[in-house]
Structure 1
Amino acid sequence: MLDKGIRPDNNACGALAVGLCDGGKVDLAYELVIGVISGRQFEDSTLVYNALICGFCSAGRIDKALAIMSFMRRNGCRPDLVSYNVLLNYFYCDEFMFEEAEKLLTKMEDGE
């Protein structure tokens, strides 16, 4: 799309990110989204960020998921309940990382 000069809107970018992440192609989804975001070709969308966060958590790459959450904040897009739930599910249910989950809950309560 981008090579042909077609700029995806939020819905198209969200659909591509969700589809690619569901298909296990998280790195490709990340490249697409970051390319579009860095070109400021669409508004920041929690749907797109959440798809990436979920995809990287599913792939066991929590460091990348947390980096996306940080990137999301820096770009003025506030994490929502879904953002936190995905990470908390990973910390509590998948990896039993209770201290990290508590830190995340504190951030969530503080509105960070």
Structure 2
Amino acid sequence: MGGGAYERVLALLRATIEVAPAAQRIPALGDRRVRSREGLDEVLGPAGFTPVDWETVPIDLSGPVEQVWAALSGLYDFGPLDRTTVERLRRTFFAEARDMTTSDGQVPCAFKVHLATARLR
């Protein structure tokens, strides 16, 4: 499922963080292995959990540009970035969203999340 706005915000954020001062960079969080089914099994199996059940769920946050920005900017921690940088991100996103906006004023914004379930044996 393509999401236009979602991918655009991620690209803008990555490019911004790449050039931000070290104090404003958002650190990578968590164990990278838990981002995949196999990795979760690797982490949870030795602790006595069953193999992970994995469900992929589509999320659609499409809507007017203001609503999409509010939703996406709430998904990521912009806290370390200064206000000027966040405002520049917002303005850039709004400008680029014009090319994605449908005739009824909607900006397509979708992505998938994976829900993992494991039970203690």
Per the normalisation by structure 1, the TM-score is: 0.24
For CA contacts below 8 A with separation 6 or more, give which structure has more relative contact order: 2
Q: Which has the larger radius of gyration?
A: 2
Per the normalisation by structure 2, the TM-score is: 0.23
Structure richer in helix, relative to its length: 1
